[in-house]
């Protein structure tokens, strides 16, 4: 897909979900000690609602992509989940629970990690699922089906947030190539975080993330906050820029 069309349809996908999965720098009531695991299909409607909740609750997860026809994680995907469906499966080692489907996972995350009920706009209700399905259709067939790929020894790391139009194509590619990754959500925490990383339209003078947050830690390390940002420990690679990341994944892992 050409670049302007790619970004346009990615923006439309986020708009269809009213940019849910953008704000995320709120303190969770409880921070999980151990990393959550999500069996995910990037284009799946239910998976999208779960990833939105992860961003808005400021939670990270190890993502095991399960595209249509994918085999890499089929054996380890918990047996309670229907085979070859796009239902998300969340494994929470902290509570030792395995949950299947957005209607179960989203309320669980809100209750356990924020002590609150799920807001209407994030429930797995028919209108939200329809909008999430439409968002998938707008991006179709990206992030849907498995492609032959080389399995990495160690999972990759991706800094992202759900609605980010630049990060979505990277997540789609990770999904198609069945590359497991630690998803680190850098949702926005204040108005000056909004918009692209350059120019910082809402903070033209001096951009500063909210102190003590994940964004702040990222800023201290890189001198800016910008997603997507990929780390590949298998090859000692760390990189910004969505197009460069896509090209890297293709030449390194597509078989």
Ligand X SMILES: N[C@@H](CCC(=O)N[C@@H](CS)C(=O)NCC(=O)O)C(=O)O
List contacts with ligand X (CB under 6 A): 164-166, 193, 196-197, 225-228, 241-243
Quote the CA–CA distance of 10 and 103 in Å, as a whole number: 25
Which is nearer to ligand X, 90 or 225 (by Cβ)? 225
The distance of closest approach from Cβ of residue 239 to ligand X in the complex, given in angstroms and rounded to an integer, is 9
The distance of closest approach from Cβ of residue 189 to ligand X in the complex, given in angstroms and rounded to an integer, is 9
Rounded (10°) angle between helices 242-253 and 167-176? 10
What size, in residues, is the chain? Answer: 255
Which is nearer to ligand X, 44 or 165 (by Cβ)? 165
The distance of closest approach from Cβ of residue 11 to ligand X in the complex, given in angstroms and rounded to an integer, is 9
Which is nearer to ligand X, 95 or 197 (by Cβ)? 197
Sheet holding 89-92, edge to edge: 97-100, 89-92, 36-40, 61-65, 181-185, 156-160, 229-232, 237-239
Which is nearer to ligand X, 113 or 166 (by Cβ)? 166
Which is nearer to ligand X, 76 or 243 (by Cβ)? 243
The distance of closest approach from Cβ of residue 22 to ligand X in the complex, given in angstroms and rounded to an integer, is 9
Which is nearer to ligand X, 37 or 57 (by Cβ)? 57
Record the tokens describing residue 77, joined without a space: 């995907």
| Cβ 46 vs Cβ 129: under 8 Å | yes
- Closest-CA residue to 13 (of 24, 1, 25): 1
**What is the chain's alpha carbon radius of gyration, rounded to the nearest angstrom?**
17
The distance of closest approach from Cβ of residue 196 to ligand X in the complex, given in angstroms and rounded to an integer, is 3
The distance of closest approach from Cβ of residue 227 to ligand X in the complex, given in angstroms and rounded to an integer, is 5
**Residue partners of 33: CB distance under 8 A and separation at least 6:** 94
**Residue partners of 70: CB distance under 8 A and separation at least 6:** 145, 146, 178
């Amino acid at each position: 897909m050409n670049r302007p069309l790619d970004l346009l349809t990615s923006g439309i996908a986020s708009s269809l979900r009213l940019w849910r999965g953008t704000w995320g720098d709120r303190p969770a009531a409880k921070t999980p000690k151990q990393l959550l695991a999500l069996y995910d299909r990037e284009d799946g409607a239910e998976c999208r609602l779960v990833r939105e909740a992860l961003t808005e609750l400021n939670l990270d997860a190890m993502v095991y992509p399960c595209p249509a026809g994918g085999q890499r994680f089929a054996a380890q995907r918990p047996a309670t989940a229907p085979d070859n469906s796009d239902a998300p499966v969340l494994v929470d080692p902290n509570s030792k629970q395995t949950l299947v489907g957005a209607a179960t996972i989203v309320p669980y995350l809100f209750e356990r990690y924020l002590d609150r009920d799920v807001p209407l706009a994030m429930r797995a209700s028919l209108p939200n699922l329809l909008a999430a399905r439409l968002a998938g259709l707008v991006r179709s067939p990206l992030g849907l089906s498995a492609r032959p790929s080389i399995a990495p020894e160690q999972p990759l790391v991706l800094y992202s947030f759900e609605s980010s139009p630049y990060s979505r194509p990277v997540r789609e590619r990770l999904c198609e190539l069945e590359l497991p990754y630690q998803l680190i959500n850098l949702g926005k925490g204040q108005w000056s975080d909004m918009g692209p990383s350059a120019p910082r339209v809402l903070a033209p003078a001096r951009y500063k993330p909210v102190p003590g947050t994940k964004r702040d830690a990222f800023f201290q390390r890189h001198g800016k906050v910008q997603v997507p940002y990929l780390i590949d420990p298998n090859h000692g690679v760390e990189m910004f820029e969505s197009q460069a990341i896509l090209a890297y994944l293709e030449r390194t892992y597509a078989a």
